Amino acid sequence: MADNKFAAYICSGCGIGDTLDIAGLEKIATREGKMALVKSHPFLCNAEGVQLIKDDIEKEAVTHICVAACSRRAKTEAFNFPTVSMSRANLREGVLWVVAEGAEHDEVRQEMAEDYIRMGCAEVKKMSLPQGNAKRDQTQNKTILVVGGGMSGMTAALASAEAGYEVALVEKTAALGGFAGKLWKRVPFSSPYADPQATGVAEMAAKISANGRIKVHLNTTVAETGGAPGRFKVKLAQESGVVNDMTVGAIIQASGFTPYDMAKLPELGAGQANVVDQAGLEAMACAANGGAIKRADGKEVKSVVFVQCAGQRDETGTHLAYCSGHCCATSIKQAMYFKDANPEVDTVVVYDDLRVPGMGEDFYRSAQKKGVVFTKGKASKVTGGDSCKVEFTDLILDEPTSVDADLVVLATGQVANAGVNLDAWTEVNTAAEGGNEEAKQKRSEMKTISVLNLDYRQGPDVPQFKYGFADSHFICFPYETRRTGIYAAGPMRRPMDMLQATEDATGAAMKAIQAVENAAQGRAAHPRAGDLSYPIVRLEGCTQCKRCTVECPFGAIDEDEKRFPVFNEERCRRCGTCMGACPVRVISFENYSCDTVGMQVKAVNVPDEDEEKPRILILACENDAYPALDMAGVQRLTYSAYVRAIPVRCLGSVNTIWITDALNQGFDGVMMMGCKKGDDYQCHFVKGSEMAYYRLSKIGDTLTQLGLEPERVVTEEVAITDNARVAKLINDYAAQLNDLGLSPMKGFG
């Protein structure tokens, strides 16, 4: 600390100086913040203001700065000083714009600003400049491994190669193409969206063969995957038994889907010769090669019925609970196979809801013009031999009816080829390690369906959603999985059609490229892309409780032979969940730690009880809740001036010591704002919010020991769009605490 020099810079622009006492804030920074240099400027983010800071860094040897101006989310390009540690005190969005105007509020507004100055100075004093990943010299490989040679995999491989990266494309069969290679034609993806189009699979395969940056491995599977971004160690097993080792920088899993097993639908005619699924019809169309489609018995089809949602959107739990997205457009396409070969063929599509996203409406209208009949109904039974009868409820007339056909086609939907379900794996693996022979056999069988065979303590594949699709949130972070540097693409990520799959694969390729570049520079991946900090652990204080290894959402922490945590920095997303989990607080980051937040809490001036000015601590997730607070300020939505908000990397990083310290200090309440948890989670770090809720559910005992009411600590789910709601939450909570009364801990902190 002897060589460190601290400086604070206070902006008076954007109306800050017109409302706040800047001279008073300078005194706070000097006397209480202990800043060696304190300066104010009327326009700190302009060229002159930025140069002022740069000059002090160069000429005054300033190493740590506190910029008191707008939110840390604003003016990030202007306030970019990579050679020093920096904190931001939010005077604009956090004070000026959220406290009601008027002289009667001047005092509490100024007190709020002074606290944020104290907090900013206290934070930066506990920060050091991140040095980047210590192992970055090992993370130089930029080859991208693509697992799966279907439309998604081929697209990802070509996109990566055309961007200048080496690619290893692994396909378990003898040819590229995947499910798309078995199609006669595809749903149109270009104007005029009127007719089925060629799949383009052969052309893509030819482009891949001609691309010198792509090495194709056919009849090959991934036998083992270890390591981390920039240095994944992969074993590729050929059908011949030969195993090859290779190192890659990032992985794209594009393992596709399997049609839902129609044998599970005997009530809809499964098992009968003249009832097929959509994949079966594609095989018949390929055999016809543009001519009249014939049944297995050689009879030309004169009438065909397409049954939509066969084993899909099932509310009983027996079949697929979801819609597979592509099936309606696929049935329209297949109906056109018949009409284009022979307009006299009767084609009927029995649907519950017709879902054709994008330009599918034009395709649907084109089918109507060709004579395809669409009937809104719910099929209940398919019977018959040479001629089938489809019994269904007409949903328009609300009455039972039926239709006869030479052939019935079931739209059975997509089941992801995503590998092993990790929840089931954990249960089986635990039993197997306990000596259960049946579990050992089951574990061996599960390994055969693994796609990546990850050498991770959490299991051999990426986690899955409840329906078996690879874990990847479609709103906040498509393609991302809980395994850093491994990206999901195509129908193994969510149900989709071919056009969506190609777009998906391109996005995954971009993410993989970002991953290898970040890894090579020792930087974090999504969502803190570019963050150079990484976890540091004081092993002498570690109790080997293993909470950090268990709770890390990304499998970034292993254990050494002495059961101490070992961090895989390249896997780490810098969320701080391990820091929040650690009961002895020995895990930290250079610029984010129990001390950087804890000292901010302690820096707040908590008035005595007789002043009747409550204090409310808000710990707000920087990804959703803190932006919502900023937007509340932008929209001039006022909330209580008694709150003091601290952004945290994730609610999962919240260590209960911060809450205990705040309550001991006399804070009247603590409100935590995090992302939505559960099956439809929006947590950028996947499990952070969930872990925080779990930990904080046990804080009642602590409150009881302190003689405090449980209402003094609350947790709220906040989305980034909740700017109006977040202001109301704060005001309602302030009113609730007012009814509850001031904390009895005041004066004892």
Query: What is the SS3 string spanning 391-453?
Result: EEEECCCCEEEEEEECEEEECCCEEECCCCCHHHHHHHHHHHHCCCHHHHHHHHHHHHCCCCC
pLDDT at residue 136 greater than cutoff 60:
no
Share of the chain above pLDDT 70, in %: 98
Instruction: pLDDT band for 139, please (50, 70, 90 cuts).
Output: low
Closest to 98 in 3D by CA, of 521, 724, 520: 724
The domain covering 259-416 belongs, at the CATH homologous superfamily level, to FAD/NAD(P)-binding domain (3.50.50.60)
**54 SS3 class:** helix
Closest to 660 in 3D by CA, of 607, 696, 620: 696
Kindly tell me the burial class for residue 51, based on how many C-beta atoms sit within 10 Å of its own C-beta (0-12, 13-18, 19 or more).
Answer: exposed
pLDDT at residue 1 greater than cutoff 60:
no
**Residue 472 CB partners (closer than 8 Å, separation 6+):** 478, 479, 480, 481, 487, 488, 493, 494
pLDDT at residue 749 greater than cutoff 90:
no
Mean pLDDT in residue range 501-522: 94
Of 400 and 384, more confident = 400
Fold classification of 606-749 (topology level): Rossmann fold (3.40.50)
d(CA 33, CA 66): 10
d(CA 461, CA 45): 47
Question: In which residue ranges of the chain is CATH 3.40.50 found?
Answer: 1-129, 606-749
Is the pTM here over 0.95, yes or no? no
Other C-beta atoms closer than 10 Å to the C-beta of 686 total 28
Quote the pLDDT of residue 688: 87
Closest to 176 in 3D by CA, of 218, 215, 214: 218
CATH 3.40.47.10 for domain 141-256+462-520: no
d(CA 69, CA 40): 10
pLDDT at residue 138 greater than cutoff 80:
no
Mean pLDDT in residue range 386-401: 95
Question: In which residue ranges of the chain is CATH 3.30.70.20 found?
Answer: 529-587
d(CA 373, CA 358): 21
Strand 587-588 to 536-537 pairing: antiparallel
Mean pLDDT in residue range 560-569: 88
Question: In which residue ranges of the chain is CATH 3.50.50.60 found?
Answer: 141-256+462-520, 259-416
466-500 pLDDT, tens digit per residue, is 899 998 766 677 888 989 999 999 999 999 999 99
pLDDT at residue 417 greater than cutoff 70:
yes
d(CA 288, CA 284): 6
- Quick one: tokens of 396? 């328009």
Instruction: pLDDT band for 330, please (50, 70, 90 cuts).
Output: very high
Other C-beta atoms closer than 10 Å to the C-beta of 694 total 13
| Positive/negative CA dihedral, 493, 573, 510, 150 | negative
Instruction: pLDDT band for 137, please (50, 70, 90 cuts).
Output: low
d(CA 334, CA 347): 10
Cα-based distances in Å from 428 to 310, 425, 440, 547, 660: 32, 5, 8, 21, 39
187-245 pLDDT, tens digit per residue, is 999 999 999 999 999 999 999 999 999 999 999 999 999 999 999 999 999 999 999 99
Question: How far is residue 401 CA from its own chain's centroid?
Answer: 46
Cα-based distances in Å from 2 to 8, 278, 418: 18, 73, 54
590-643 pLDDT, tens digit per residue, is 999 999 999 999 999 999 988 889 999 999 999 999 999 999 999 999 999 999
Correct CATH for 1-129 of 3.30.70, 3.90.1720, 3.40.50, 1.10.3470 = 3.40.50
pLDDT at residue 2 greater than cutoff 60:
no
Closest to 24 in 3D by CA, of 444, 32, 733, 210: 32
List 486's β-bridge partners, or say none: 251
Mean pLDDT in residue range 511-523: 91
Cis ω for the linkage preceding 495 (within 30 of 0): no
Quote the pLDDT of residue 686: 83
Fold classification of 529-587 (topology level): Alpha-Beta Plaits (3.30.70)
